[in-house]
Amino acid sequence: MKSVAIPWEGGTVTGRLAPASDPGTPGVLLAHGAGTNQDHAMMVVLRDGIASAGFPTLTFNYPYAEAGKKRPDAPKRLLACHSAAADWFRAEVSPQMVMAGRSMGGRMASMLAADGEPCAGLILFSYPLHPAGRPEKLRKDHLPQIKVPVLSIVGTRDALASPELYDEWVRSLPNFTTIDIEDGDHSYRVRKASGRSSEQALNEVVEAAAGWLRHLR
């Protein structure tokens, strides 16, 4: 694991790069969710798992996380930092970059992709289609503008992506591939009745992402 400093217009944020043995593979820029940082347990599993599958993976802190705060920055600030991290990644790691993100980080990545940020593809881990308990506030309008291949991995019990709304607005998009994590919630946690552990469910997520990346090459 290599710690790096990523400059952006508001200063510098920390990144953690998990290298891969094959320099010819596409790299993954992985953004964290709201209220956490790049060292959140799930982020570490995703980053290290994808890198172990052969794809160099970089996480980074958004400015609020770098400052040790829990409340996310305004979207404009998040997007500026995220775009700067993408520039750094293409210059220092691999010109063939897949943007990925967990929840809010995936939303920011999708907004950048919709606006034309150069990338080979997009992976959305638990895309927050709407706030919990507020299905009327859909975050969908920019999704049809994304032109690159997209993998969306969603839990079937995700409170931020009701199945009916997800099927209507996301699953049917032509360049989207959806993988359902049966019984998974927004963090891919599953109940004992599912017959497997939450750790096993998260491993399913990593394997799905790695398999899609291999197909993208």
Residues 6+ apart with CB under 8 A from 133: 159
Of the pLDDT bands very low, low, confident and very high (cuts 50, 70, 90), residue 13 is: very high
Per CATH, is 2-216 categorized as 3.30.1320.10? no
CA distances for 103 relative to 36, 67, 76, 163, 188, angstroms = 11, 20, 17, 16, 11
Q: For the residues 125-140, what does the mean pLDDT come to?
A: 96
pLDDT tens for residues 40-64? Answer: 999 999 999 999 999 999 999 999 9
Q: Residue 170: name the closest of 142, 137, 211, 204 by CA.
A: 142
- Percent of the chain's residues with pLDDT above 70: 98
Q: Residue 32: name the closest of 76, 77, 78 by CA.
A: 78
- The CB density around residue 206, as the number of other CB atoms within 10 Å, is 19
pLDDT tens for residues 159-195? Answer: 999 999 999 999 999 999 999 999 999 999 999 999 9
SS3 64: helix
Per-residue model confidence (pLDDT) at position 25: 77
Residue 217 confidence (pLDDT) above 80: no
**Least confident segment among 6-15, 18-27, 147-156:** 18-27
Interatomic CA distance for residues 178 and 148, integer angstroms: 14
Per-residue model confidence (pLDDT) at position 23: 62
Per-residue model confidence (pLDDT) at position 20: 80
Residue 76 confidence (pLDDT) above 90: yes
Give me the residue label for tokens 């600030």: 77
